[in-house]
Structure 1
């Protein structure tokens, strides 16, 4: 059967041709899907005959909310969801002055092996479909009764390891007949798959690309990120420059500060030299505590000292505000806890 949430209007038109239905119905169905309907019978302006034909050919990949946590500190909402096949994913809704942002997962689990991340423990189970990515946005909007205005592909999984499905999701969530979320309100985060960064650049979509850098050189990066053995620091920066030249978009470099690993003044100075002249912004992140890992986050004084060095060298730098700290809102923590307790 066809998964309806993964379909664009053209996909639905092809289906309707087989049914002998008019093309304009495709736009109606597409709009219903993006309003968040969870069964075909909610599409009340379609005939019963058409709805019955659809039920025999398509399905809506609904997901069940297994657990939901609401931060008393800042209103952040963390969702643990079960997919049709029983896989568990998570997403987070964050409230900002500029609108509501959802951080979604692109895979069930992750195979990248970054040593400071809970998402990668246990590896990757499978890729998510475009409809399962879209479903996270629709489910959270329906449950919270809040409109999502920004989407961040920064939850469980490596988006560029699921390239085709992620590209289709971006086009679906951006579509004017659907949620119509602007490209500049979409952020994709990658640990640094160099060929795919260049491939993404060639699409010339005006999304924000965030690179999980977390180190100023190969030696430090390889100690915490296995992907650095495959693609060197210089190769990654070259791919970033290619992306900037193709799209004209500024890149965000994500840098999780780990006490005694990558947070020294020398690290900050080296990073400044490496990024000089690149159209970029650095986002410093106090590393999250992960059960079973020995890493601890840098203290506030060290984080501020690191930021000052970058700023003094002309690198625009901010410190990420910690949201949902009372509900395990960091990537992978809730899913890991659930799977461990269940197992």
Structure 2
């Protein structure tokens, strides 16, 4: 891996500080960012309105790089999952999810990207493939941004909606995440509105406290998946360190002063969390947090024992939440036919590389 820093990992503040230290003005920093994000050049020589000395300075300290796209899998529902290889050989998954139609019924130009924040995951949710190989490392700011650039190459259009719901716990990689968010939202960066970005957390309370102090109006989704400590302890090890008695106050702290509703993500798993009693517990939490609920019937992962409830059972659960006047949607995971659940493609590729097969 080259020791030079990625230019695409530089926030405006960091680039300005670097150029100021080397005798250049704010105007020059703006010019460089314009070349990188508006004109999308991939060499410093292409920055034709910069003096040669500045181009040389940039080339001495920074570089361009986009992760190698290893595989692309297309789904019948137009979802595309792709696997990228980082410079150390690490494999990272991302998913492109086009919106078929807009709210007015016309063809939508919205392209959502599900982004990973880590190589693997340390939190080990029992129903998820991401943690089966453990955590290898955090993704850098440049590697997070690189997924967006790769997605735009594949989709041949700009990404305008981002969800940090891929591999890893975003809030445990907060510093790199925060820099990536600055680049994504900046009008001198990717210029994607904060309200078009969602961060998902499994319940990492220290990161939630940092996010509560973060000024931008990023949307928040909480991978709840169990509305009692008993259920969450069974399927989400994070709950043993930060149980609901700590998680819910942290979510209230995040909500304070924001005109935003958190979303409670709830994967329905047969005979684990799909009973009427579970629905009642979920309603109680949603009311306390003034939250929306997003129900997701379980997306089967090879090698794991969990099963999807029947369609009737899913609808009954949804209706119980709706009857309590909680905003609720039922989202069937897209890309089911291409194993689009977090970590599945990487898991298969790593097993092939190591000469093993899925359990």
Q: What band does the TM-score fall into relative to the shorter chain?
A: over 0.9
- In the TM superposition, residue 48 of structure 1 has moved relative to its aligned partner by 4.3
- In the TM superposition, residue 331 of structure 1 has moved relative to its aligned partner by 1.2
5 Å matches for 1:1-343?
1-35=4-38, 36-71=40-75, 73-96=76-99, 97-98=101-102, 99-343=110-354
Distance 1:48 1:246, change over 3 A: same
Equivalent pair of 1:67/1:79 in contact (CA under 8 Å): yes
- In the TM superposition, residue 51 of structure 1 has moved relative to its aligned partner by 2.5
Distance 1:32 1:292, change over 3 A: same
- In the TM superposition, residue 231 of structure 1 has moved relative to its aligned partner by 1.1
Distance 1:143 1:52, change over 3 A: farther
Distance 1:331 1:121 in 2: 11
Equivalent pair of 2:297/2:332 in contact (CA under 8 Å): no
Equivalent pair of 1:62/1:84 in contact (CA under 8 Å): no
Equivalent pair of 1:109/1:123 in contact (CA under 8 Å): yes
Matched positions, count: 342
Distance 1:66 1:157, change over 3 A: same
Equivalent pair of 1:34/1:138 in contact (CA under 8 Å): no
Equivalent pair of 2:299/2:333 in contact (CA under 8 Å): no
Distance 1:47 1:6 in 2: 22
- In the TM superposition, residue 275 of structure 1 has moved relative to its aligned partner by 2.5
Equivalent pair of 1:133/1:169 in contact (CA under 8 Å): yes
Distance 1:42 1:82 in 2: 26
- In the TM superposition, residue 130 of structure 1 has moved relative to its aligned partner by 1.6
- In the TM superposition, residue 320 of structure 1 has moved relative to its aligned partner by 0.8
Equivalent pair of 2:12/2:188 in contact (CA under 8 Å): no
- In the TM superposition, residue 293 of structure 1 has moved relative to its aligned partner by 0.7
- Extract unaligned runs of 5+ from structure 2: 103-109, 355-359
- In the TM superposition, residue 59 of structure 1 has moved relative to its aligned partner by 1.9
Give me the TM-score of the superposition, normalised by structure 1. Answer: 0.95
Equivalent pair of 1:183/1:205 in contact (CA under 8 Å): yes
| Residue-by-residue CA offset, 1:128-162 (whole Å, 9 max, x unaligned) | 12221111112211332111111101101100100
Equivalent pair of 1:6/1:130 in contact (CA under 8 Å): yes
Give RMSD over aligned pairs: 1.7
Distance 2:26 2:287 in 1: 53
Distance 1:39 1:333, change over 3 A: farther
Secondary structure of the residue aligned to 2:289 is coil
Equivalent pair of 1:254/1:284 in contact (CA under 8 Å): yes
| Residue-by-residue CA offset, 1:220-246 (whole Å, 9 max, x unaligned) | 100000000011112211111121123
Distance 1:289 1:247, change over 3 A: same
Distance 1:216 1:18, change over 3 A: closer
| Residue-by-residue CA offset, 1:109-133 (whole Å, 9 max, x unaligned) | 1100101000111111111122211
- Extract unaligned runs of 5+ from structure 1: none
